[in-house]
Structure 1
Amino acid sequence: MSLRIDAVILAGGQARRMGGQDKGLVELLGKPMIEHAITRIQPQVKEILINANRNQNLYAQFADCVFGDEDSGFLGPLAGMVTAMGKTQADLLLVVPCDCPCLPTDLVARMAAALEAEAADLAVASDGEYEQPVVMLLKPSLRDSMKAFLAAGERKIDFWYAKHKVAVVSFADQPNAFVNVNTPEQVEQLSKALTQ
């Protein structure tokens, strides 16, 4: 029996460094940033969910399930993850940010293999040097743990996952896979790099 794996794309932040523009909808090479992420992960999962706290009507063109955080107030990525875990029927949930347009096309396969091999609760991607805490594959059954962590006023993802058995998966062979775009200047730089 194969496991069902869904993905949630986190697009729920305030994007302060992007001048308040909704990062997932900022264009990169003529397409919204979120569309690049979807193109990379869609073949790897059963269903894509989008966590967005604004512009949900615009995001609805990209996924059937678009939702805001259960708790209002822009509490960070964990709030979107908690909500997504309550909406999926999957055995595993892939979490990725909307501002990573170059995600690995073998992300799920490698993370699922590590999760199983290490009998871990979640797998976190690494670029070979740094962990990428908002790129993870986790069991939706961790929802109660994450909810309790948030209820205690905590917000740092890596502090939460340190409480669980974690498989760190290196993608050092794809050093640009987790380039994320936070400013208009970075959009321009990445556009140039991708067209060279």
Structure 2
Amino acid sequence: MEFTSLSGVVLAGGKSERMGHQDKGLLLFKNEPMALQVSQAFKSVTDYVFINANRNIEQYSALGFDVFSDVEGYSEKGPLSGLFASLNYVSASHLVVSPCDTPCISGAAFLELQMMSKEFPDKIHYLKSTSGSHPLHAILPVASSLLALKMFLDQTGRNSVMAFYEAFGCQEVLWSKDSELLNVNTPNYLK
């Protein structure tokens, strides 16, 4: 597997229960939709940026993105639904993902992931900081990850992102700027 191209997907398909079921990617953080802020951080590393969303498709499209939803039969699997849909949708050799509710993430974090992925293109790479593992800030080899994730979901019935990564083969990438990984999960962060 060679690293030849990279697409980015902002994962915005969750139910947003702690945010009162409001679509987090469209909520404003520092006067800008969070999904847009995450997508701007991708610009230094990706060829294309897409959004995975299961509602408010027109609003996400209005931000200037191609939007796709979870794949029938593979929805309701938590974040793995978004990963599966993303791996199905993109045509690049590698996919970088980030959740829509981490608007402080920088392009430098994705450059670090990209550097490691170019060195070891067959593995999944994800960020780890002092606050712990951040498996949804990751780069995955598309073709092999898609096949492995389909098998993982079909055979194990598990919905754990880390369990899939460990079964596939992964490597953490240390990121020292923990504040960039702020997860805006509740309304009090928006004030």
Same fold (TM over 0.5): yes
Residue in 2 that maps onto 1:89: 91
Secondary structure at the aligned position of 1:74 is classed as: coil
Does the Cα contact within 8 Å between 1:115 and 1:167 map onto a contact in 2?
Answer: no
Corresponding residue to 1:148 among 147, 151, 154: 151
Give the structure 2 partner of residue 166 of structure 1: 170
Whole-Å Cα distance in 2 between the matches of residues 2 and 122 of structure 1? 12
Cα RMSD after superposing both structures: 1.8
TM-score (norm 2): 0.90
| Partners of 1:8 and 1:49 within 8 A in 2 | yes
Task: Tell me if the contact between 1:122 and 1:136 (Cα under 8 Å) persists in the aligned partners.
Answer: yes
Identity %: 27
Distance 1:34 1:119 in 2: 27
Please give the residue correspondences for 1:1-196 in structure 2 after superposition, counting only pairs within 5 Å.
Answer: 3-71=4-72, 73-118=75-120, 120-141=122-143, 142-151=145-154, 152-172=156-176, 174-188=177-191
Contact 2:24 2:34 in 1 (8 A): yes
- Contact 1:12 1:74 survives alignment (8 Å): no
Displacement over 6 Å in runs of 4+: none
Cα shift at 1:115: 2.6
Gaps of 5+ in 2: none
How far is 1:165 from its partner?
Answer: 2.2
For residue 129 of structure 1, report the CA deviation from its aligned partner: 4.3
Aligned length, in residue pairs? 187
Retained in 2: the 8 A contact 1:7–1:45?
yes
Displacement, 1:55?
0.4
Q: Which amino acid aligns with 2:59?
A: L
CA separation in 1, counterparts of 2:174 and 2:50? 25
